[in-house]
Amino acid sequence: MGIKEVEMKSPKILLIKPPLDGHDRPIHDLIVFLRKRNIDSIWPGLQQSWTQIIKTAIEEDPDAIGVSVHTGDPVVLLGHLKKLLESSGLENKILIAGGSGEITFPDVREKLSAMGFKVFLSATTHDEIAKYILRECREKEKNQQNEFAVGHGIPREILAAAITSQERGSLILSTPVESNAITVVLGGPTGAGKSSLLNAVLERVGKRGIKIAVFLCDPRGPKLKGAFLGDRLVVQDHTSNENIFIRSVSQFGNYSKKRVTFLKNLAGLAKLWGAKLIFFETIGLGQETSSAIKNLADLFLWVALPNETDDLRLMKGGAHELADAILLNKIDKEPAFRAELALKERFQKPYFPVSAITGEGIDALCEFLDEKLSKIK
């Protein structure tokens, strides 16, 4: 495959807790601070099995992994994690650990240091942690050698590494990948329920026996430049499904032509892995950002809210006009009748009144996707 340059990415840390540990407030605070230091964070949530944690680490390919331990024996827990990382080809991660309880004992800290974990105790400031991550990431980047062949049939690990290389600007596909996969883009205002709907759809189409790639775009802020890649938290249960590959993508600013090309290349790599269905959840979209991202989609689904979709809005056109189908979400909260009537009058396009929470309408939406998939099989 041909290669060309793209922009640099922020360092990324995967923050985790051992499966039986239930205290996540310090992680939330750390995430917010790391955003100030231009560091992207992923937090897949509490009660993740080791298998889910490792699969998340493979797919997200973070530079660093941070473990917070409040209960249990840290030497046993982190020793187990270390073995799993090594047997999964993830031995090159920067490892940090923190928490309370036994991790504060000097002999425990010594053993963890010997295993390769940098231990931070509660007296450590967030700033010290951020500086450590940034310094180690810079060092790692200098010594990093990414050599792998990219072609049809790549495994999950190579897909993840190739995506990182594209983000770093070291490798990018410059020729389109031949495949009959369908790319579905979920757009809509922030908080409309894009991730929740994706989660509900994956629950059903994830059982179809096809490979599915999911790219979740979350914003890097205009002030705090790091991103909290939080969409993953909403769809994390599907990490257990071997047919599903989930990757978070941080994004600064709108969807420029260059950005859409970059995302198309991610779709191209997913096709090389064998994905037949590729989902992109966009950052929350407004009218001005919808048309560029539409170019990425074989199917552009617009998530709207019934109480904000009425005849006056539809007379103005805009994003609704671009969509291949409209999903009226949260109908458990708001009756969709008025919006449906307006859509029927103004547009000749499919619309689905749905609730990501109660599951209403999701079967009909999946039948719509199945019909598209049946045409490519």
Ligand X SMILES: Nc1nc2c(ncn2[C@@H]2O[C@H](COP(=O)(O)OP(=O)(O)OP(=O)(O)O)[C@@H](O)[C@H]2O)c(=O)[nH]1
> CB 352 → ligand X: shortest distance, Å?
12
> What x/- string results for residues 151 through 190 when contact with ligand X is judged by CB under 6 A?
---------------------------------------x
The verdict on 342 binding ligand X (CB under 6 A) reads no
231, 268, 330, 352: residue in contact with Mg ion (rule CB under 5 A): 231
126, 313, 357, 372: residue in contact with ligand X (rule CB under 6 A): 357
Q: Round to whole Å and give the CA distance between 292 and 255.
A: 6
The verdict on 195 binding ligand X (CB under 6 A) reads yes
> CB 40 → ligand X: shortest distance, Å?
15
Which two tokens mark 171? 């490798």
Chosen from ligand X, Mg ion, none, partner binding at 363 (C-beta under 5 to 8 Å by type): none
Contact by Cβ (8 Å): 299, 184: yes
By CB under 6 A, what part of segment 228-247 binds ligand X? 231, 234
Residues 6 or more apart whose Cβ sits within 8 Å of residue 176: 264, 268
356, 366, 369, 373: residue in contact with ligand X (rule CB under 6 A): 356
Quick one: which segment of 117-125, 163-171, 223-231, 252-260 binds Mg ion (CB under 5 A)? 223-231
> CB 366 → ligand X: shortest distance, Å?
15
Contact by Cβ (8 Å): 279, 245: no
CA angle 52, 84, 24 (to 5 degrees): 50
The verdict on 330 binding ligand X (CB under 6 A) reads yes
Quick one: which segment of 93-101, 153-161, 231-239, 366-374 binds Mg ion (CB under 5 A)? 231-239
Q: Which is nearer to ligand X, 7 or 332 (CB)?
A: 332
Query: Which residues contact ligand X (rule: CB under 6 A)?
Result: 190-196, 231, 234, 284, 329-330, 332-333, 355-357
Q: Which residues bind Mg ion (CB under 5 A)?
A: 194-195, 231
